[in-house]
């Protein structure tokens, strides 16, 4: 799945997220062969206009996943309104001689209670991805008016993954990135416009 060490990129954002996601996704080439899962805080009755708006500036196909949907490289998955989006790990088959992974990770949708008043929750997505993919996760936290995402980035780091946070000075709302920077050992703090090129370079240098 590409030349890098990562197998999934998870992104979280809240207030100001539409613009931040437009900028980030516009910087990813059509040949970017990694799945991207996004948790964007939005009203529970939101329609599909967010997906449509993001698709206009993104070369990769964007969709809201269904429950138990397989995770496919080169696609952008947007958490549906009023659902938590979780990553389910590989299924493991046991026999007398070996232990094998028999089915790839999938998405699960949940209507469990909101976390930090949000559903979808960034922490829920990040923590489930960290548990499913371990060190193969790259977490990205963008603008937002909440502390959601900090615990999730901490789980990603604890499981061996890496973390990118938007430079608060380039965020429409600095609360979310500042909260993460103050509590988690972030690997990279980048201006919004540099995040996508950095991800491409990090995951698949041949696409530079």
Rounded CA separation 40/64 (Å): 12
Rounded CA separation 94/100 (Å): 7
Instruction: Please indicate whether residue 19 is annotated as part of the active site.
Output: no
Instruction: Please indicate whether residue 41 is annotated as part of the active site.
Output: yes
Query: Of 3, 14, 95, 128, which residue is the catalytic one?
Result: 14
Distance of CA 96 to the CA centre of its chain: 37
Across the chain, the runs of DSSP E, i.e. the strands, are 8-13, 36-40, 62-63, 76-78, 84-88, 91-94, 99-103, 106-110, 137-141, 162-166, 188-190
- Residue of 196, 186, 146, 207 whose CA lies nearest to 9: 196
Query: Of 84, 123, 128, 148, which residue is the catalytic one?
Result: 148
Query: Of 31, 41, 67, 187, which residue is the catalytic one?
Result: 41
Instruction: Please indicate whether residue 148 is annotated as part of the active site.
Output: yes
> Do 181 and 25 form a contact (C-beta atoms < 8 A)?
no
Rounded CA separation 70/51 (Å): 19
> Do 195 and 166 form a contact (C-beta atoms < 8 A)?
yes
What residues act catalytically?
Answer: 14, 41, 148
């Amino acid at each position: 799945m590409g030349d890098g060490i990562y197998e999934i990129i998870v992104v979280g954002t809240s207030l100001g997220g539409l613009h931040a996601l437009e900028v980030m996704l516009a910087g990813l080439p059509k040949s970017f062969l990694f799945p991207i899962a996004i948790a964007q805080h939005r009203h529970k009755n939101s329609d599909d206009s967010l997906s449509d708006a993001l698709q206009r500036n993104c070369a990769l196909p964007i969709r809201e996943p269904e429950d138990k949907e397989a995770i496919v490289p080169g696609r952008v998955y947007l958490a549906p309104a009023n659902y938590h989006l979780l990553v389910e790990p590989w299924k493991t088959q046991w026999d007398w001689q070996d232990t094998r992974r028999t089915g790839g990770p999938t998405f699960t949708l949940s209507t469990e209670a909101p976390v930090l008043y949000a559903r979808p929750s960034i922490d829920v997505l990040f923590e489930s991805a960290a548990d499913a993919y371990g060190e193969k996760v790259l977490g990205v936290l963008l603008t937002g008016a909440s502390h959601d995402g900090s615990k999730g980035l901490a789980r990603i780091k604890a499981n061996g993954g890496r973390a990118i946070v938007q430079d608060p000075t380039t965020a429409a709302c600095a609360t979310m990135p500042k909260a993460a920077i103050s509590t988690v050992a972030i690997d990279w703090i980048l201006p919004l416009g540099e995040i996508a090129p950095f991800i491409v370079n990090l995951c698949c240098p041949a696409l530079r």
